[in-house]
Chains A and B, each alone.
Chain A
Amino acid sequence: MTTSSLPTAPAAASERSPRRIAFSSRLSRWDLKLSPYLYISPFFILFALVGLFPLVYTGYIALLKFDPILHTGTFVGFDNFVWVFQQRQFWIALRNTLTIFLLSAVPQIVVALAIAAVLDSNLKAKTFWRMGVLLPYIVMPVAVALIFSKLFSDDYGLVNHLLSFIGIAPIHWHTDTIPAQIAIATMVNFRWTGYNALILLAGMQAIPRDLYEQASIDGAGRFRRFFSITIPQLRPTLIFVIITATIGGLQIFDEPQLYDTGGLAGGSNQQWLTLTVYLHNVGWFQDGSFGRAAAVAWLLFLLIVLIGLINLAVTRRISNNENRRTS
């Protein structure tokens, strides 16, 4: 590692007076001691100010009745939480957030796995295909929402038009709850499936090739090899993808906020009202109550932690079982 002894440059030092050596060496000792802290301090100070403090402070504001004009609050205990729990819209938003999350995360990871597996095979024009599946990532979610809200238009949308070819009657992508949520999940999947496929691909490439060779010799077919080697070996990468999808997916805002810009965000009947859209409505729109919005934010935070832990436990379990089966 770095020098623990003081930097000595004998030739130069001998020309200087002893006092100066003492001074400069003390200076350089401080340099050595303090610099590491100095270099990490901008991150810690800024992160504490704009990242951590607001999150913790949210917990405090949630206990106040906050006056948005005077910027003062009176302590009301858990009144805001009680109020939130009494709102029908909160429970609808909670349900919608969970269903939209499931509708997007599950198909997204399954399809990403399939794409990654194909990209991992002996493919021509690798870079082309990899870039191709990543293209939607650079389209901003706001733009995706504006495009897809018309693709999924209730009457003349392209999706309904295409469905009519196979004899399916027009689906009410905006008025009906489940179709609306499928449409929103589709937007999320559009943007993130390719991205996640590339992450999974990187994980697949790290799997030792010998494992596949041995399995081939033992007579394992392509699908057997995928489920008995690839999936268990991919566990850490899968956990990573699932956790990031959870943190992002449960906070979904852009797509449901802009799915129908004409009416109220979240749909006339809260068909696709999510928790973050609800948070925004409570804090900045209908109610204008920061205390209540903070309570929603805090509940959403707890939900993310909870689902994250469940994910972790389930993923551990599944891949452990698969490991046992292969060994």
Chain B
Amino acid sequence: MTAPILSPAAISGRPAKAARRRPGRGGAAAGMRPGFLGYGLLVAALLGAILPLYWAFLIASGDSSSLNDVNLPWWPGGNFLENAIKVVSNDRVSFFKAVLNSLIVSTVVSASVVFFSTLAGYSFAKLRFRGKQSLFIFVIATTAVPTQLGVVPLFIVMSQLGWTGTLGAVIVPGLVTAFGVFWMTQYLSTALPDELIEAARVDGANMFKTFWYIGFPAARPAAAMLGLFTFIATWTNFFWPFIVLDPSNPTLPVALSQLQANYFVDYSLVLAGVLLATLPLLLLFIVAGRQLVAGIMQGAVKG
């Protein structure tokens, strides 16, 4: 069925030589540059992506009257910093705490997903053991299971443990993903030559040393990609943190959800908070956007 294709060259963000097309040969539009219609569509898509954010910035840099102003200026006003400071200095919003919490949760979850996925992926891709086939099929099957629907018992267990309101309640359910194991297995089975492992074994390295010094370094490009996507998914996750956390100790999305409902009537403040909260991932996007594009395209299916 569905099998992501991961190739070492492409995952590092560079297109593989063979995949690079000779000029003048498009797909369905072979031999043509995209016409007026093609570029028009792309420009429209780009505007659709940027305009809502820009509009939010226009409101956030104005004052309380901007939202209802039909003759909104096309150029931002000068109040953004002032509005932003109002948001972060409001004690009840606990903005900095939310940023810190989101940072802790996303970092721990991605590190854990990357480590356990690489470990399991190495085993599935490179080691021989009884029941491997069926266990791996189980992993594939569970990638499609909507685990988010288990919130009711998860909440009951968390409150019995006394964990509700703590970051642990958000971190623990995210520690492993079936997708991560699948992704690392696919990558390692092509990227890591068996000869390397054999050589290490012949040299007398035990199993874990072989993994640590041969398997883990070889997995690095795919592991970085997995870490990046897990970080973004965790950072933007709302449903479960919203249920289990308290607004006094929130992650960033939970804090945002409270902005308008409980604290501000002035929407320029709400949107200033929204944009501030978007900033960290926007910076990540500027630094690693190329890798994100490559990662999505590598995770795509074929055959």
List the interface of chain A (C-beta within 8 A of B). 1-4, 7, 9, 12, 28, 31-33, 35-37, 39-40, 42-44, 46-47, 50-55, 57-58, 61, 66, 71, 111, 114-115, 117-124, 127, 129-144, 146-148, 150-151, 153, 156, 158, 161, 190, 193-195, 198-207, 209, 212-213, 216, 222-223, 225-226, 229-230, 236-237, 239-240, 243, 247, 251, 253-254, 257-258, 261-262, 276, 279-280, 283-284, 290, 293-294, 297-298, 300-301, 304, 308
Contact = CB atoms under 8 A, between A and B. Distances in A.
Nearest to A292: B152
A118 B27 CA distance: 9
Contacts of A143: 253, 256, 274, 277-278
14 contacts: A61-B152, A71-B156, A121-B29, A122-B23, A133-B46, A135-B49, A142-B253, A146-B256, A146-B274, A148-B52, A198-B293, A203-B301, A205-B297, A254-B253
A202 B194 contact: no
Interface in B244-303: 252-253, 256-257, 259-261, 267, 270-271, 274, 277-278, 281-282, 284-285, 289-290, 292-293, 296-303
Question: Which of B176, B203, B252 has the most chain A CB atoms closer than 10 A to its own CB?
Answer: B176
Contacts of A54: 147, 150-154, 157
A297 to B, nearest CB: 5
A9 B267 CA distance: 72
B252 A140 contact: yes
Main secondary structure of the interface of A (DSSP, over half): helix
Main secondary structure of the interface of B (DSSP, over half): helix
Given A237-B301, A237-B302, A115 B41 contact: yes
Given A140-B253, A198-B293, A121 B27 contact: yes
A212 B281 contact: no
A201 B10 CA distance: 14
B111 interface: no
A293 B152 contact: yes
B145 A297 contact: no
Contacts of B38: 118, 121, 123
Given A130-B293, A138-B292, 13 more contacts: A50-B176, A52-B147, A58-B149, A66-B156, A117-B27, A137-B232, A140-B252, A142-B256, A199-B300, A199-B301, A202-B296, A203-B301, A226-B28
A58 B119 contact: no
Contact of A7 (B122, B202, B289, B296): B202
B278 A199 contact: no
Nearest to B144: A247
Contact of A294 (B28, B152, B293, B303): B152
Contacts, number: 352
Contacts of B144: 243, 247, 308
B170 to A, nearest CB: 11
Contacts of B267: 150
Nearest to A301: B149
A239 to B, nearest CB: 7
Contacts of B68: 156
The 5 closest A-B pairs by CB, nearest first: A54-B150, A202-B300, A35-B207, A140-B236, A39-B123
Interface in B130-185: 132, 135, 139, 142, 144-157, 159-160, 172-173, 175-176, 178, 181
A194 B56 contact: no
B75 interface: no
A138 B282 contact: yes
B149 A55 contact: yes
A57 B300 CA distance: 33
Nearest to A254: B238
